[in-house]
Each structure stands twice: as C-alpha cells, then as structure tokens.
Amino acid sequence: MDKEQLYMKALEWIHGLGRFGVRPGLERISALLEMLGNPHHRIRFVHIGGTNGKGSTAAMLASALRAAGYRIGLYTSPYLLSFTNRMAVNGNDIDHGELIELVNQAHPLVENISSDPRLGPLTEFEVVTALALTYFSRQDVDLVVLEVGLGGRLDATNVVDPLLSIITNISLEHTDVLGNTIEAIAAEKAGIIKEGRPLLTAADDQKVLNLFQGRCENLNASFNRVILLPGHMALGTVQTPYAVQGRITEDGQFFDYSGIELQLKDLFIPLRGAYQVINAGTAIAALEILKKENIIVDENSIREGLAVTNWPGRLELLSKNPLLIMDGAHNPAAMKKLAESLPAYFRYNKLILVVGMLEDKDTGAMLRDILPLADTVVFTKPTLPRAAEPSELADFAVKNLNLGNSYQVLDEHGRAIDIALELAGPEDAVLVTGSLYTVSDVRAYWHDKNG
C-alpha cells in the first residue's frame, strides 16, 4: 500500500471505534496512556471546556501564543475539513505519516485493553485523544491548548493537570449524559477544575458562577471571570477585573479589553458574532493568568495573533452574490446566538436556509429559533450515522412551526446546497447550519466544486 492508502486504512480503524459510542470515564484512556508511557505527563496544558465557544477561544489563545514565539499544540473537535485538523502544532496539521505511525503503535494496545472485561472497548474519542497527547509529546511543544470533548469530569481529556482551566459558558446540552439542568451540567463541566490551578470562566448564570466559585474554594483554586459589557457601560466600571466591549464591522469586529495589567484598545478579530468578543477576551485574560507561569505574551503578539485567527465554520462568509454563510450552531444556545447575529452582520433580501442536524440534539428548540428568519428551507443531513432524518425535521416544522410549503427535503447535502444556490437571487443569502458536520460536508463539497 502507498502512504495515502495506509492513511485511509488508519482512519477507517479510528472511525470504526465509533461503534462503541460515548462511554464517559477515565479508566480506559488512563490504561492506554500508561502503555504509551504517559506522554501527557511531559506536557503543559490549558484545558478548555464549556457549552459553546470552546474551539474559538482555543484557536485565538493558540494564535496569540504562536505569535509570541511559543511552539503550541492545539487539540479540537470535531474537525471541519480533514481529520488531521484535530491535532495541530503551530497551525500545521499532523502529517499523514505521523498519524499512521501513531495508529500502528496504538492498535495492539487498544485491542489488548478492549478485550479486558474490567475495562471494555475504548471509544473513538478516547483513542484519538491518546494519539494526540502522544503526538504533542513527541513534537516537544511548549504548551497544548486542549479542548474538552463532552462534559468535563469524565471526558477523556480530563487526564491532564493543566496550568489553567477555562470554562467558556454553560447551557443545556447532552442532557442524556450530563444531566437535564443547568446546575447538573455545570457540575460536570466543573470537573476540569484542578487542585491549586486557576479557573477562568465567561459564564454569566449566577447559580453556575456560585457552583464554580464553591468548587474553586474547595480545591484552593483561584476563581476568575470575564464579562462582555454592553456599549453604554464604560470599561472599568464593573467589579470583575476582566471585561471586553465590542463593535461590529462587516469583516469581523473591533473590541476593547480591560484586565489586571492590560488595558487594550481597538483589538481586531476576523470572526463575526458578538459572542466571539467574549471568547477573545477570555483568551487575553488567560494570557494574563499564564504570565504567572512565566508564559509571556506582549501586546503586539496579542494583536497579531487575534487578527490572524482562522476558525472556519462560524458565521463564515464563503462567497457573495448571493451570500453563502456557514455556521456550525449545533445546540439551542448557539442557534439563538446565530439568529441574533445574522441580521447584525449581513444584509440580504431573502434567506434560504440549508439545515442538517444530529438526532441526539434538541432539534425542535433549534428549529424554533432559526426558521422564523428563513424564506425557504432545504432540509438535509450530514454523512454521519446519528444524523437526524431531514423528512422528520420537516414534518416537525410543518406541524409545530407553521412552516407551510416553502421547503424541500434533500438527503444528499451536495444536492441541497446546489438547489439552495439556484433558489437564491444575487441579493439573497444562503445559510448552512444545524451541525458542524453538516457545515463540514457542505463546505468540502462547495470547495471541490468551485476550487
């Protein structure tokens, strides 16, 4: 086999582990990492959890650290264009050959552990996390920015002892696994707070903040909060030491940041959505906290790193005339933010919505927020076994949301985006949303077709 065939075979094995589903717990990955020589013990981490904004915050933090000259590993999920997006060093994805080598090393170890009745089979996420940690250790990185997969307390990434834990925000998600209340979900997310290690959060629910603060007190961990101020309030007028305030532009947004040592004006991020300002502020506050660990990032590096952050699939504009917008909103909180942000950033006559979701999400709540903005809806699905059936989404919308006749059901995502673009006039907009997997599929199809 040539290298590309070996790479595809390695991916086939990794994705085949998906049949074992989600199995929270640290026993299996701990056993695998021990067999691999505990590579995570040789790395420093920033660990980022939360409901939404984890990936964007991670990307901006990593970009600023790279601009300051640090060698940075970045672990995120899911991937948008290629599996190798999930583990990158200094902005470069893992090489196919290196992934093949890691899989060859891990394969017999995974089989050994999975056959142990006391542990059971490793999941795909557990194995990918172990591969990533091993890769970063071999790459001699200065720091890894590590995104939580699901929850926190029992997530496979929670084997690490980070310099700093970040929890972006909390809303209802994965209620079948994490609990069906905000407090229950917050308690699971708070599991990434470690003894003596600071916490930074952008959460704004007082019950959640009380829970986080209580856990920090129990663990002798400092509690730090960053907030987004409305335009009519002046920075420096609130009690929290970390605050941001933003101003929308067509291609991103400018914002001001107020911290303990840093007072920065007119910072720019090329990411749309007011929520990205709080994510950027969280990244800067994290840099202030990391200074205590002798990780120094100056103002120029912060400005440069934020300004060049690339994080596709979040209010991303792929083309104009008509507008083609991609956003991976995949839970009710994210979809509500999308519905609020869309008219603030884009001007259009009609909106053609292409929506594909996963069956284990609160699809009804998401549709309630986004469908009122659409003139026409094209229901489709990502190429994933747990994709929601487009016909069922359409039936729900017709019965419960007064959708009417302005919709189509097209299972194949390529056909769905082709039809949506045919329906759109030059002054209209096409929005693809509902899942990062849908965005990934449509985005790849569009790029293959248009170059």
- Which pLDDT belongs to residue 37? 97
Overall average pLDDT of the 132-144 stretch: 98
User: Is a pLDDT exceeding 80 seen at residue 165?
Assistant: yes
Number of other CB atoms surrounding residue 79 within 10 Å: 16
Q: Is the pLDDT of residue 208 over 90?
A: yes
Flag whether pLDDT at 73 surpasses 80.
yes
- The position carrying tokens 């990185």 is 141
Residue 364: the pLDDT is: 94
What pLDDT score was predicted for residue 3?
Answer: 84
- Which stretch of 85-99, 183-197, 236-250 has the lowest confidence by average pLDDT? 236-250
For the chain, domains (ranges, CATH) are 3-307 (3.40.1190.10), 316-450 (3.90.190.20)
Categorize the per-residue pLDDT at 239 as very low, low, confident or very high, splitting at 50, 70 and 90: low
* Cα gap 141→74, rounded to integer Å: 10
Whether the pLDDT of residue 98 is over 60: the answer is yes
Over range 351-365, report the average pLDDT.
94
* pLDDT above 80: residue 346: yes
Residue 287 · residue 61 · CB < 8 Å: yes
Mean pLDDT of the chain: 93
Q: Is the pLDDT of residue 19 over 80?
A: no
Contacts for 38 with CB less than 8 Å, ≥ 6 apart: none
Least confident of 14-23, 127-136, 211-220, 341-350: 14-23
Question: Does the pLDDT value for residue 279 go beyond 90?
Answer: yes
13 — phi, psi (to 5°)? -65, -45
At 251, the pLDDT band (50, 70, 90 cuts) reads confident
Say whether pLDDT at 138 is over 70.
yes
Average pLDDT (30-53) is 97
CB 420 within 8 A of CB 354: yes
pLDDT at 232 over 60: no
User: What integer is the mean pLDDT of 199-210?
Assistant: 95
Confidence band, pLDDT 50/70/90 cuts, at residue 235: low
> Where residue 229 falls among pLDDT bands split at 50, 70, 90?
confident
Give the span between the Cα atoms of 381 and 376, in whole angstroms.
17
Q: How confident is the model at residue 58 (pLDDT cuts 50, 70, 90)?
A: very high
Please give the model's pTM, rounded to 2 decimal places. 0.94
Q: Is the pLDDT of residue 64 over 90?
A: yes
Q: Residue 244 has what pLDDT?
A: 94
Lowest mean pLDDT segment, chosen from 64-73, 156-165, 173-182? 173-182
What is residue 80's predicted lDDT score, i.e. its pLDDT?
Answer: 85
Long-range contacts of 16-21 (CB under 8 A, 24+ apart): 17/110, 17/121, 17/122, 17/123, 17/124, 17/127, 18/123, 18/124, 18/385, 20/121, 20/122, 20/123, 20/124, 21/123
Position 237 scores a pLDDT of: 59
Q: What is the pLDDT of residue 162?
A: 98
Lookup: tokens for 162 = 């980070």
Whether residue 175 has pLDDT greater than 60 = no
Stretch 352-376: mean pLDDT: 95
Mean pLDDT for 327-338 is: 93
Give pLDDT, residue 285: 98
CA-CA distances (angstroms) from residue 385 to 275, 330, 345, 412?
31, 16, 34, 14
